[in-house]
């Protein structure tokens, strides 16, 4: 019998990967999860996870944060038997019907089935000063860096769910929050957009773009362009939420089928174009990217991966 290190290998431990780990383990599979940072992915940055079904306030206790939710998912997956390796995946190849995953430390793991749950990374604006002042006033995570700018002048760039959610959080730290969006209306869910527009601590500027970020040791001002032309505004921090880039580079050498935006195309079983490879969460081509969607896709991916493993072992139900 061919030796392999896991029945099911999951790359990425965001909500999709953690959900897949739980369901794969419940199917009595030997599950390994690779995560180079910390279990939770981008969900760790959610201040209040108010739109996850059942995650509601109880009396004076608010809904769980993304951090708390992720910690619960992690503990639950481990309780069912999933094992976690805090190391990144450097290379992915096919060897004799198995997937061979080379880790950043140099070792290689083999598995007959793999779930790609690598998520997406923050998209940069590529404006002057963004890279130079990253970590010195430029940030992509309000809950991570917002407390450093209490009562300071804060600019939020973006118009989606993340931008609105993070602007709300930042408004609790400062009453000098300006939010700009290049379009004439938010693309965020209606309830989030309405909350931002009604917040007296947030000034919203539509049809406005960020042209440059200025400063030497730290952010001191920004150049904005709006309907009345460009102008310089004093600023202490810039939080950018301009969308995401799917993390599919690991599987690129395998010829994985992607959509025009670079997301993994799957069928309804979460199976990608390569037999034995499944995708779930923000890395997958989907019309709606939310924590609840990622968790559901992870469960489906694990269930269907278990069925795939049974088929290749000749154990499937007839």
* Domain end call among 223, 240, 257: 240
Residue 127 lies inside a defined structural domain of this protein: no
Could you say which DSSP state residue 24 is in? H
CB 130, CB 141: distance < 8 Å: no
Sign, CA dihedral 12-13-19-20, equals positive
Q: Where are the beta strands (DSSP E) in 76-200?
A: 83-85, 89-95, 98-103, 108-111, 113-116, 120-122, 138-139, 154-157, 177-181
Shared-domain flag, residues 232 and 250: no
Shared-domain flag, residues 86 and 13: yes
CB 117, CB 17: distance < 8 Å: yes
Shared-domain flag, residues 89 and 116: yes
What is the C-alpha to C-alpha distance for residues 30 and 43, in angstroms, rounded to an integer? Answer: 25
CB 51, CB 74: distance < 8 Å: no
For the chain, how many residues are written? 318
Shared-domain flag, residues 290 and 225: no
Residue 131 lies inside a defined structural domain of this protein: no
Shared-domain flag, residues 110 and 249: yes
Contacts of 11 (CB under 8 A, 6+ apart): 17, 33, 34, 89, 101, 114, 115, 116, 117, 118, 250
In the set 47, 60, 141, 161, the catalytic residue is: 141
Whether 141 is catalytic is yes
Global confidence as pTM: 0.78
What is the domain count for the chain?
Answer: 2
Shared-domain flag, residues 258 and 226: no
Coil, helix or strand at residue 140: coil
In the set 7, 60, 145, 310, the catalytic residue is: 145
Residue 133 lies inside a defined structural domain of this protein: no
Residue 2 lies inside a defined structural domain of this protein: no
Shared-domain flag, residues 273 and 290: yes
Query: Token match 């010195």: residue?
Result: 136
Q: Parallel, antiparallel, or unpaired for β 202-206 and 177-181?
A: parallel
Q: pLDDT value at position 4?
A: 67
* Domain end call among 240, 255, 274: 240
Shared-domain flag, residues 236 and 249: no
* Domain end call among 194, 221, 240: 240
Whether 161 is catalytic is no
CB 85, CB 103: distance < 8 Å: yes
Shared-domain flag, residues 156 and 219: yes
User: Residue 177's domain spans which residues?
Assistant: 138-240
In the set 72, 144, 259, 267, the catalytic residue is: 144
Residue 189 lies inside a defined structural domain of this protein: yes
Whether 145 is catalytic is yes
Closest CA to 157 of 132, 122, 189: 122
Shared-domain flag, residues 176 and 39: no
Shared-domain flag, residues 90 and 12: yes
Q: Which residues pair with 233 in a beta bridge?
A: 222
Residue 308 lies inside a defined structural domain of this protein: yes
Where residue 12 sits, what CATH number does that domain have? Answer: 3.50.50.60
What is the C-alpha to C-alpha distance for residues 203 and 218, in angstroms, rounded to an integer? Answer: 23
Each of the 318 residues of the chain gets a pLDDT tens digit; together they read 345 699 999 999 999 999 999 999 999 999 999 998 889 988 887 777 877 888 888 887 888 888 999 999 999 999 999 999 999 999 999 988 899 999 988 999 999 999 999 998 888 999 999 999 998 999 988 877 899 999 999 999 999 988 998 999 999 999 999 999 999 999 888 998 999 999 999 999 999 999 999 999 999 999 999 999 999 999 999 999 998 889 999 888 889 999 988 999 999 999 999 999 999 999 999 888 788 999 999 999 999 999 999 998 887 655
Residue 1 lies inside a defined structural domain of this protein: no
């Amino acid at each position: 019998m061919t030796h392999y290190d896991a029945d099911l290998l999951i790359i990425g431990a965001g909500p999709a990967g953690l959900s897949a780990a739980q369901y794969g383990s419940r199917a009595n599979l030997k599950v390994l999860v690779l995560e180079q940072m910390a279990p939770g992915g981008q969900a760790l940055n959610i201040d209040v996870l108010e739109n996850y079904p059942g995650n509601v306030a109880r009396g004076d206790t608010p809904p769980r944060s993304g951090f708390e939710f992720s910690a619960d998912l992690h503990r639950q997956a481990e309780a069912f038997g999933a094992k976690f390796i805090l190391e990144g995946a450097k290379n992915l190849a096919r060897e004799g019907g198995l997937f061979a995953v080379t880790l950043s430390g140099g070792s290689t793991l083999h598995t007959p089935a793999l779930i790609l749950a690598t998520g997406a990374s923050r998209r940069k604006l590529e404006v002057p000063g963004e890279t130079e002042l990253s970590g010195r006033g430029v940030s992509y995570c309000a809950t991570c860096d917002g407390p450093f700018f209490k009562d300071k002048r804060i600019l939020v760039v973006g118009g989606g769910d993340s931008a609105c959610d993070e602007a709300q959080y930042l408004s609790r730290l400062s009453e000098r929050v300006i939010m700009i969006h290049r379009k004439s209306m938010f693309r965020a869910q209606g309830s989030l957009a309405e909350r931002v527009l009604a917040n007296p601590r947030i000034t919203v500027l539509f049809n406005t773009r960020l042209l440059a970020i200025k400063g030497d040791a730290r952010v001191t001002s920004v150049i904005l362009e709006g309907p009345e032309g460009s102008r310089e505004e004093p600023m202490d921090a810039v939080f950018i939420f301009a969308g995401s880039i799917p993390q599919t580079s690991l599987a690129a050498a395998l010829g994985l089928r992607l959509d025009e935006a670079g997301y993994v195309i799957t069928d309804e079983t979460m199976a990608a174009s390569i037999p034995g490879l499944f995708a779930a969460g923000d890395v997958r081509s989907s019309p709606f990217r939310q924590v609840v969607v990622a968790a559901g896709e992870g469960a489906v991916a694990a269930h269907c991966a278990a069925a795939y493993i049974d088929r290749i072992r000749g154990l499937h139900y007839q």
